[in-house]
A and B are shown apart, each in its own frame.
Chain A
Amino acid sequence: MSGRSGVSGRILIIGIGHRLRRDDGVGPIVLDRLRAGGADGPCLLELGGEGAGLIEAWDGWDGVIVVDAMRSGRPPGTVVCLDAADGDIPAGTFRSSSHQFGLADAIAVARTLGRLPRSLRVVGVEGECFGFGEGLTPAVATAVEAVVAQVQAAAACLP
């Protein structure tokens, strides 16, 4: 899968997370898998999840897919796909790797300021452990392939 250049059809995939906070690293690890599978490098972006940085990052892109760990009370490893066009994301769903002004806030503020991409989808994975250390817990590690598939499917649907 590669990003297409040109005025339309530019896709950015953002992996949010901290690699040294266990399951919080799932976003970056998904990017690693996409990169290994031959995805176009410049269209993959690893970020900490700070909201203003997200708004800056997706400025100018037509289609954006964000991958992030969730802490929403669902069973670990559950994969959820959300579309920003369907409304704002409930606060507290996504662990912000950085400030509380995180992904959900970024979507809401961007919508208010007219700075949402034409299409923005979020693929979330429920995490189990967010302590210090490297490596995903088994349930989340098992879910990575499903997440990669969801991201690829979402990218294929984007205009």
Chain B
Amino acid sequence: MTATKARPGQTGGAKAAAPRVIKVDALARVEGEGALYVRVRDGVVQDIKFKIFEPPRFFEAFLEGRFHAEAPDITARICGICPIAYIMGASHAMEAALGIRTTEAIERLRRILYCGEWIQSHVLHAAMLHAPDFLELDDALQLAKANPAAVTDALRLKKLGNTLMEVVGGRSVHPVNTRVGGFYKAPKRTALTDLLPELRWGLEAADRLARLFGTFDFPRFEDDYLSLSLRHPDVYAIDRGRLVDSRGLDIPIEEFPEHFDEEHVAHSNALHGVRKADDVPYLVGPIARFNNNFDQLSEDARGVARACGLDGPVRNPFKSILVRMVETFYAVEEVIRLVEAYQPPDPPAIEVPVRAGEGTGCTEAPRGLCWHRYSLDTEGRILKARIVPPTAQNQPRIERDLLGVVETHIQLEDEALKWRCEQAIRNYDPCISCATHFLDLTIVRE
């Protein structure tokens, strides 16, 4: 991130105040580990660095030499909240490498599973981690005291997502029923149709929470995001599609590296996503999907969007909480549609022949595009793995937002400014790593 130059008229002759340093030991309510450093001189932001400590490099190395069938289960451990995104991306990539494609029935069952993940991930973030911000509450505990009904609804809706993951995936954390080629066992029809009453409750609950969050005051902040997402001709893209952006790009997922790059930035172990043509940071995730594929949402989901105040492309990152609830509503509705028509796929998995090859898989994790590429030797062992998770792609976008947020709120006291920065980061529901919760925040005022 380049430093913002001092504005004309504010020269080095200005009085130099002693630097003020603010340290925060933890970025509350964000998955994983990261650090934010902001340096301000005479009210002008000189430098912002948002650091992420990413696990994928470890996993890419860990995967080399392993059998292709292990990739979904190993990569699932990259994220405790969105294992399905990694299982699906890895499975699709291996299937592509091995020259096979699952049946439509298997794909539909995979979509139910993926919707379950969207529901539990989105509701957890929106209600327990993000909503407290808008009510100026410190955490979910205070929210539970202030509005126990909303928290109870959110917990029950999140549990519904987890139940779907259990019924289809065998376990809600690190599913055991998934494999390259499909599933080990297809759930009986009744195992899913038994959930319909709760799913119908879930639809109402998602609508209720969306409308509640629609009453929040949103900080005034806008940007014209370059939105990158999947797009599918028939449905709101979750598990398959081509890559599209908000400025006309439309490419197959295999061409992602030709247009987008990961540059290794010194201050972060993650690789930052930028569009190669012009080094522009791009956005992935709910807002990107919503902006690119609004027309693909169901009519009722579009109605929920309008009811909570979203009447066009979203340019305010704080409104990501609303988009998450609209997507939750859509996911519940989609599961109802798929479950009502469900017949167990037979066989539950297709044959997986072993051969050398290279394949790509890309799906929409709750947080955005999750791209996988693997190359295999003749015995089906992994030669090379490349995993591009959504939060790494959003890193420069987060930094750009933070620059804007700090500039806009520079007049605030440090504590309030720090909280705004944390809130801005939380807009992205970043999945920073899989096991820690420490963020250092340093603001240096010179």
Query: Could you say which of A47, A51, A97, A105 contacts B434, with CB atoms under 8 Å apart?
Result: A97
Contact A95 B144 (CB under 8 A): no
Assembly CA distance A20 to B63 (angstroms): 13
Query: Could you say which of A52, A98, A99 contacts B155, with CB atoms under 8 Å apart?
Result: A52
Interface residues of B, count at CB 8 A: 35
Contact B145 A99 (CB under 8 A): no
Q: Are A99 and B435 also in contact (CB < 8 A) when A55-B155, A56-B155, A109-B141 are?
A: no
Assembly CA distance A61 to B80 (angstroms): 24
Contact B155 A108 (CB under 8 A): no
Assembly CA distance A99 to B26 (angstroms): 12
Does any Cβ of B come within 8 Å of A50's Cβ?
yes
Does any Cβ of B come within 8 Å of A100's Cβ?
yes
Does any Cβ of A come within 8 Å of B423's Cβ?
no
Does any Cβ of A come within 8 Å of B162's Cβ?
yes
Contact B129 A112 (CB under 8 A): no
Does any Cβ of B come within 8 Å of A75's Cβ?
no
Across-interface contacts of B434 in A (CB, < 8 A): 18, 20-21, 48, 97-98
Query: For chain B residues 153-190, which have a beta carbon within 8 Å of chain A?
Result: 154-155, 158-159, 162, 172-173
Query: For chain A residues 64-90, which have a beta carbon within 8 Å of chain B?
Result: none
Max chain A C-beta neighbours (<10 A), residue from B29, B144, B145? B144
Q: Are A98 and B80 also in contact (CB < 8 A) when A56-B159, A130-B436 are?
A: yes
Q: Are A18 and B124 also in contact (CB < 8 A) when A53-B162, A132-B55 are?
A: no
Assembly CA distance A68 to B336 (angstroms): 37
Does any Cβ of B come within 8 Å of A92's Cβ?
yes
Query: Could you say which of B28, B128, B148, B159 contacts A113, with CB atoms under 8 Å apart?
Result: B148
**Which 10 A-B pairs rank lowest in CB-CB distance, beginning with the nearest?**
A48-B80, A21-B435, A132-B58, A98-B80, A100-B437, A18-B435, A112-B144, A108-B141, A100-B29, A109-B144
Assembly CA distance A18 to B76 (angstroms): 12
Chain B residues in contact with chain A, CB under 8 A? 25-31, 55, 58, 62, 77, 80-81, 124, 128-129, 139-141, 144-145, 148, 151-152, 154-155, 158-159, 162, 172-173, 434-437
Query: For chain A residues 33-50, which have a beta carbon within 8 Å of chain B?
Result: 46-50
Assembly CA distance A92 to B26 (angstroms): 9
Contact A105 B148 (CB under 8 A): no
Assembly CA distance A24 to B55 (angstroms): 15
Task: Tell me the minimal C-beta distance from B141 to chain A in angstroms.
Answer: 5
Q: Are A105 and B139 also in contact (CB < 8 A) when A95-B436, A100-B28 are?
A: yes
Task: Tell me the minimal C-beta distance from B97 to chain A in angstroms.
Answer: 24
Does any Cβ of B come within 8 Å of A121's Cβ?
no
Query: Could you say which of B55, B77, B145, B154 contacts A112, with CB atoms under 8 Å apart?
Result: B145
Assembly CA distance A22 to B158 (angstroms): 29
Assembly CA distance A1 to B67 (angstroms): 37
Max chain B C-beta neighbours (<10 A), residue from A47, A92, A98, A105? A98
Assembly CA distance A101 to B25 (angstroms): 16
Contact B151 A102 (CB under 8 A): no
Max chain A C-beta neighbours (<10 A), residue from B124, B145, B437? B437
Query: Could you say which of B58, B80, B139 contacts A50, with CB atoms under 8 Å apart?
Result: B80
Task: Tell me the minimal C-beta distance from B120 to chain A in angstroms.
Answer: 8
Query: Could you say which of A46, A52, A92, A97 contacts B435, with CB atoms under 8 Å apart?
Result: A97
Contact B129 A101 (CB under 8 A): yes
Contact A53 B173 (CB under 8 A): yes
Q: Are A100 and B30 also in contact (CB < 8 A) when A48-B173, A108-B141, A109-B140 are?
A: yes
Q: Are A101 and B128 also in contact (CB < 8 A) when A56-B159, A112-B145, A130-B436 are?
A: yes
Q: Are A51 and B128 also in contact (CB < 8 A) when A99-B31, A113-B148 are?
A: yes
Assembly CA distance A66 to B25 (angstroms): 25
Max chain A C-beta neighbours (<10 A), residue from B26, B31, B141, B158? B141
Assembly CA distance A21 to B436 (angstroms): 9
Assembly CA distance A47 to B172 (angstroms): 9
Task: Tell me the minimal C-beta distance from B131 to chain A in angstroms.
Answer: 12
Contact A105 B141 (CB under 8 A): yes
Contact A100 B148 (CB under 8 A): no
Q: Which residue of A lies closest to B429 (CB)?
A: A99
Contact B151 A95 (CB under 8 A): no
Across-interface contacts of B437 in A (CB, < 8 A): 95-96, 99-100, 102
Contact A98 B81 (CB under 8 A): yes
Contact A112 B81 (CB under 8 A): no
Across-interface contacts of A100 in B (CB, < 8 A): 26-31, 129, 437
Query: Could you say which of A18, A95, A101 contacts B29, with CB atoms under 8 Å apart?
Result: A101
Across-interface contacts of A46 in B (CB, < 8 A): 173
Contact A105 B140 (CB under 8 A): yes
Assembly CA distance A98 to B32 (angstroms): 7
Query: For chain A residues 118-157, which have a beta carbon within 8 Å of chain B?
Result: 130, 132-133
